[in-house]
Structures are given as structure tokens and as C-alpha cells.
Structure 1
Amino acid sequence: MISTQTATQQIMEDRKSVRKYKEGVTIPQEKLMELLQLATTAPSSSNMQPWRFLVIQDEEAKKELLPIAFNQEQIVKSSATIAILGDMKMYENAQAIYDANVEQGFMSREIADNMIQNSLNLYAGLTDEALKGVIQFDAGLISMQIMLLAKDMGYDTVPMGGFNKQQFAEHFKLPENEFPVVLISIGEAATPAYGSSRIPAEQLTRFI
């Protein structure tokens, strides 16, 4: 039987990490906001949504970011770079998040109150290292969603974990409760990305 590729599968197939971008291409801020709003449908631990975004479009800011990102060309050539940040105090939003769930009919007041208390108890009691692990996991979920949505909108992306995170936080004056996780450059490809092989799933999977 020949299966027909779905639109989602096609986007997943077409998404590649692009490092060469057309210069001078501007993505309207409204379009970037639409992209990020859609991406926030990603799941997160206890629905705490710990991601924050810093979108770097200004040409001077790009030049300042370049050495922090180890001189990766896409920083200055792409339309923008989206920094995915993590909020170490995300659990302080538990009340507002679960109040909204009640207002929108997603759960009862009793369940929401229980979730609020559980979230505050759990995350406030974690070590910084453990909390960062939770946040980085959630940041990975939304980062992939951003890249797939960008491809669906006609843009290319490349994720970058290789940059000086301490310098980034200091230079862009992040509040103490925020830390950078990954950078995602976005724009229009100047040249096609290289293809890349994948290990067959059969070699990676065990069933028990």
C-alpha cells in the first residue's frame, strides 16, 4: 500500500537547519508574534509555560550578539534571532494560569486550587539545577514547535545551543530569574540546507 504524505509530514521532511540567509529580508513583528502565539500551544510541565522570548531584529543588536554566538554568520544575515529564555520563577504564575483554566471551563475550581498548591510546593522546593532541567525540557518542546510553524509560514530556521550564555544574559540585561536556553535564527534561505542522514528507527527502538 502506498501511503500519501500528510501536510504535517511534508513540513517535517522539508525543515532543515539553514545557515545561509538572504540579507535585507524583514519579517513583520506581527508575523513573528503570530508565530510565537501559535507556538505557545506546546505542552509544558504542569502547564507552567516557563518560556520567555527575546526577539533580536535590530542590526546593531545583531552585531553585538555575533561574538557572543561565536561568530555564527546567521546571526547577522537572518531576519531575526529568537532567544528562548527560561523563567526560574514560572511557578509564580500558577494562580493566574489555573484561574484562567477555570474561567475558560477547562477544569473545576477545586481541581485548579489543588493544581496551584501542588505546583507551588513542587517547583519552589526544587534545587536550581533540577528546576533548570525542567525548564530546558519545556524550552525544547516549544523550540521545535517554533521551527515547524516557521517552515509552514515559508521561513527557514536554525537552532543554536552554542553560544556564551553568561555573556548573553549580561549583555542583554536579563533579569536574575531568566536564563537563555537556545537561539533560533529565522529568515529566507539564500542557499538550500545540506541534507542529513538519519539512523533507521529500527536501530534505535526496543519493545518490551
Structure 2
Amino acid sequence: MNTLFRTMEARHSVKQYQSDVKISKEELEELIRAATTAPSAWNLQHWRFLVIEDEKKKEELLPIAYNQKQIVEASHVIAVLGDLEANKEADRVYQEAVDTKVMSKEVKETLVGQINGAYQREGSFARDAAFLNASLAAMQFMLAAKAAGYDTCPIGGFNQKAFVENFRVPERFAPIMLITVGKAAKEAYPTTRKPLKEVAIYNSF
């Protein structure tokens, strides 16, 4: 088994953290930088990471996250946000490709038009894209943290409306999940996985 596979096997959701362990800003930013290498549709990079490190802000977050103690015990809480207006990034993203001669101006204009067209559709396209692509980066952050010797836990159970209001999240961004990160004070509960024959379907149902 290679190193990546071992990291994936070792990662579990930790609920109790050593409250005296603090991850340095340099280390944390290295983990976030690793997360941003995740793939994204049209390379729009739909993710934003709201880093909550201040103890008072963590206390403010605690009731919003239904009083899960890991919020205040972990070194940091990372709120992963998804960009609902990621198409606004298209022009800049593709202009960089034009400037470095990776892409022609004509191809850029075609792609930007296609992206804007997709985001103008009725329905849940923008929200679905925000959740899908930001979640890829969230998983990558958790794997990077484990590889660096830290533990994490993704949290979907929190009051999203209250979070947006209290942390002044712009309307452009949807809260996807919270991730606690730090050093485990207690090992995660062991979990099992369904056998491959139950989850892998070939060609068609």
C-alpha cells in the first residue's frame, strides 16, 4: 500500500482534541494551499476557506454548531464555502491562460460565454456546482492535514443561516461544511465500510 493509501486509511473523524495544541499559520496555510490543488469545473476554483482561530469567535460559533465541543477544543475551525457566482472568475482565470499563451483569445471568449450561459440557467446549477467543487477541496484539506500529522472532522450539522449572519458571509458564498483540525485527544471511534461488491456497479444497474 502506498503512502497516499495509508493516509486515506488512517484518516478518521476525530471529535475530541488537545486544546493546548495550536497549528502555526505557516502550517495551516500549507494545508490550505494543498487543498487548492483540487480539481474544479472549468478551473473556477469554487472554494473559499474562512479560518476561525480566535477563541472568542470559536465560542460564538459553538451554539451555531449545536454545542459540539470540538469547535472550541480544536486548533482551528475551517468553514468551507462554495462560490455561487463562480462564473465571475472565468474571465480572470482564462485571461491568465491567454497571457501565458496556453490558450488563444478566441478559445477564452468561447469558454467564458459557455460558462456564463450555464450559470444563467434556471434551477440549482450554481448551487450544485458550489457544493460539488468546494467539497473536493474540503476532502483534500483533510487528507493533507492527516499527512501532516493532524486530525480533522467534517461537520455538516450547524445552523447555516445563523452562521452566515454571525460571520457576515457574503450572499455570493454558501456554507458547505465546517472542518475542525488539530491533534486528537482521543482516537476516533472505529468504523466499518461496506464491501466493494455493494458499492461498485459496473456498466449499468
TM range (shorter): over 0.9
Deviations 1:116-174 (A, max 9, x none): 12112211x13463311111011211111010001011110000000000000000011
1:103 CA displacement: 3.1
Where does the alignment leave 5 or more consecutive residues of structure 2 unmatched?
none
Match of 2:166 in 1: 171
**Mapping for residues 68-83 of structure 1, pairs under 5 Å:** 68-83=64-79
Label 1:69 to 1:113 Cα distance change in 2 as closer, same or farther (>3 A).
same
SS in 2 for 1:75: helix
Q: Deviations over 1:43-87 (max 9, x none)?
A: 112211111110000000000000000111110000000000112
- Counterpart of 1:199 (choices 188, 191, 194) is 194
Matches within 5 A, 1:122-161: 122-123=118-119, 125-127=120-122, 129-161=124-156
- RMSD over aligned CA atoms reads 1.3
Q: Counterparts in 2 of 1:176-191, with a 5 A limit? A: 176-191=171-186
Match for residue 55 of structure 1 among 51, 55, 58: 51
In structure 1, give the amino acid aligned to 2:75.
S
1:34 paired residue number: 30
Single out whichever of 101-110 and 142-151 deviates more from structure 2. Answer: 101-110
Match of 1:175, SS state, is coil
For these two proteins, the number of residue pairs brought into alignment is: 203
Give me the TM-score of the superposition, normalised by structure 1.
Answer: 0.93
Please report the TM-score for the alignment, with normalisation by the length of structure 2: 0.94
Q: Which runs of 5+ in 1 are unaligned?
A: none
8 Å contact from structure 2 (residues 130, 174) kept in 1: no
State the SS of the aligned residue for 1:157.
Answer: strand
